[in-house]
Amino acid sequence: MENISKIKTEIYRELVEKMIDGGECSDEELYELIEERVFEKSHSTYISQNDKEILVRGIFNSIRGMDVLQELVDNPDITEIMVNGCDNIFIEKNGRISRYPEKFVDVNKLEDVIQQIVSKVNRVVNETSPIVDFRLVDGSRVNVVLPPVSLSGPVVTIRKFPESPMTMEKLIEIGSLTKDAANFLEKLVKAGYNIFISGGTGSGKTTFLNALSDYIPKDERIITIEDAAELQIRNIQNLVRLEVRNANVEGKNAVTIRDLLKSSLRMRPDRIILGEIRDAAACELLNIMNTGHDGSLCTGHANSSKDMLSRLETLVLSGMDIPVMAIRNQIASALDIIIHLGRIRDKTRKVLEIAEIVGMDGDRIKLQTLFEFVEEGEDKDGRVKGSLCRREKGLIHTEKLQRAGIEL
């Protein structure tokens, strides 16, 4: 293995020097050149066919790709890549996080890869501006944090999204929710209920929102608004996608979620889908839901359905000084349903609760649980058994269903 690593370094340096001296070539030509060099090296050092293929790909990725990360980026089963310095890489695969055995040659190589990625999307990251967020051409979301802010060396986090988004049928198949719950949600979406999806980081909110959007009638005009484009809305022809624009180096020309929400009202939307609410734009969103724009969908970070309501309160207060009771009344009037997601101890993602916002109960917003995940122990492999069970008390506010001619 040591010989293979040495050969890789030698060929890499040789070819990089050649290109610096003016020997530019296409990707195809470079790949063939690497194959020739590896073949030549195999005359003096035994290299198995499998190792040859790994060597060629590795050298090519070091020169034209993302070095040791390229194989991870290309692997559709890997959903998250976490680089904590040059020699500490973790991946999430099939919902489980593990350490990746490969590492960068040194911190300089990692920094080169970072600059290569960032330059392709016309962004800048350095000691003066050590944090940057952006997305790759394939839609993957990238966050980079450099020293001195990061004490672990350069940190890169890449969240990947599948080419074909998860469907509700697939979520049912893997046990995220039941067919009964999915049928219930389908009727609510078609009837135009305002639905909020809550959950912690990595709980699958965006994935679930994508799946839920499949229930939207195909003839509607949909406006999506996102901080960073992640949604993969399918089967809607009349679709407008909007994305926040960060301020330039002078701190000007930013376009915020709030700006986009206001603008979307002039686009004649049937529904507005907001990727995530995380600031005072929550006030604008509630106004939209309260002024006839039914069927809005949104996600937010929270530890429970009840916590999501408290968080919305806090977000509205952060941008507007109005009485708490006025905010609570607005939330109770605007939202119909909260779907809470979570990752349980076996690392699987589940719908933990579907709750209806009934209205005000004194000075509190009243929630009624319609579906709740009930645990039934573990199997022999440590996987949690259980299902999303319908509660005895059903949906109270059925007016939208009745207007849409839909029966539960």
Q: Could you report the per-residue pLDDT of 204-255, keeping only the tens digit for each?
A: 999 999 999 999 999 999 999 998 888 999 889 999 999 998 777 667 888 9
In a shared domain, residues 209 and 268: yes
In a shared domain, residues 384 and 307: yes
What pLDDT is recorded for position 21?
Answer: 57
Which run of H or of E encompasses 301?
A: strand 297-301
What pLDDT is recorded for position 139?
Answer: 81
Domain endpoint, select from 49, 64, 79 = 64
Domain endpoint, select from 137, 162, 187 = 162
Strand partners, 97: 92
In a shared domain, residues 130 and 85: yes
What's the average model confidence in pLDDT over 57-76?
85
Contact 159, 135 (CB under 8 A): no
In a shared domain, residues 59 and 73: no
Domain endpoint, select from 162, 188, 219 = 162
In the block, residue with structure tokens 């929710």: 177
pLDDT, averaged across the chain: 90
Closest C-alpha among 360, 337, 311, 398 to residue 194: 337
Helices 2-20, 49-64: crossing angle, 10 deg rounding: 40
Range of the domain at 369: 168-404
In a shared domain, residues 113 and 188: no
Q: 271-274 and 297-301: which strand pairing?
A: parallel
What pLDDT is recorded for position 50?
Answer: 83
Cα separation, 155 vs 56, whole angstroms: 27
Q: Which amino acid is at 224?
A: T
In a shared domain, residues 335 and 305: yes
In a shared domain, residues 239 and 388: yes
What's the predicted TM-score (pTM) here?
Answer: 0.82
pLDDT digits (tens, 9 = 90+) for 92-106: 997 789 999 999 989
**122 pLDDT higher than 90:** no
In a shared domain, residues 114 and 254: no
In a shared domain, residues 39 and 145: no
Q: Report the number of distinct structural domains present in the chain.
A: 3
Report which listed range, 23-27, 49-53, 347-351, 401-405, is most confident: 401-405
CA angle 68, 74, 77 (to 5 degrees): 110
98 by Cβ neighbours in 10 Å (0-12 / 13-18 / 19+) ranks as exposed
Contacts of 90 (CB under 8 A, 6+ apart): 81, 82, 84, 97, 98, 99, 100
In a shared domain, residues 364 and 238: yes
What pLDDT is recorded for position 162?
Answer: 78
What pLDDT is recorded for position 291?
Answer: 87
In a shared domain, residues 121 and 199: no
Contact 389, 374 (CB under 8 A): yes
In a shared domain, residues 333 and 385: yes
Collapsing DSSP to helix, strand or coil, 369 comes out as: strand
pLDDT digits (tens, 9 = 90+) for 133-148: 888 888 888 999 999 9
